[in-house]
Chains A and B, each alone.
Chain A
C-alpha cells in the first residue's frame, strides 16, 4: 500500500517560513491535500489540489508538489499556526484514502 512520509516535527520562529514535506513514490502524479489540526480540535482543510486554499485560509499557506515530494509552506508564521499538519492522497489502486503520519509545527 502507498506510504506518505512526513517529519514528526518542525520548529520555526515567529515571522519566519515553515516548510513541511510529504514524501511518496511519484507523489507528483497525485493530488495532495493538507489538513491542520490544532490541539483538541477537528482537522481543517488548508490546501487542496496541491496549491489551492479554501475560503478563509490565509494566503500565507501555499503548497507545491513535484516528483517524490509535496511541500506545505507557511510564510510569516504566527503563534496560531502551531498545530499538527497532515498530508493526504487518494490511492486509486486500492480505492483507499491515505494520510501521512503528521508533522507537529512548533512556533518558538
Chain B
C-alpha cells in the first residue's frame, strides 16, 4: 500500500517562507510524477504544482508561479515544496499526491494522497 507523509506546515507571517516535505514509501518513487494539491479552509481542491519522475519537467498553477518551487530527491523518496513570498490566501492544507497516467493521451490523475499538512499565513 502506498504511503505519503507530509510535514513542514505551520504558522508563518505574510511574505515569509516555508518548506514542505513529503516522504513516500511502498512504491518505486522515481517512476512516478508527484504533485502538491491544496485546500483552503472550507473550500475546494486546487492543484498547486507537479514534477516528473526525473525532475525534468515541472508545472505550476498561475497562483503560485514565481513564488513556489517544487523539487524531489529520488535517493530519499522525498518530494519538496519551497514556498516563498507567502500570502494570506496561501493558507490551506497541502496534500502530496502520486500522479498516474490516464488511458487517454496526455491525461493524468492523482492516484494516492497523503493526509496533508496545514499552512497558515497570518500576521
Contact = CB atoms under 8 A, between A and B. Distances in A.
Interface in B87-117: 95, 100, 102-104, 106-116
Summarize A's interface: helix, strand, loop or mixed: strand
Interface residues of B, number: 25
Contacts, number: 71
B11 interface: no
Summarize B's interface: helix, strand, loop or mixed: strand
A96 B59 contact: yes
Contacts of B15: none
B61 A90 contact: no
A52 B101 CA distance: 13
Nearest to A86: B45
Contacts of A43: 37, 45, 95, 110, 113
Interface of A: 30-31, 33, 35, 37, 42-45, 48-49, 52, 54, 84, 86, 88-90, 92, 95-102
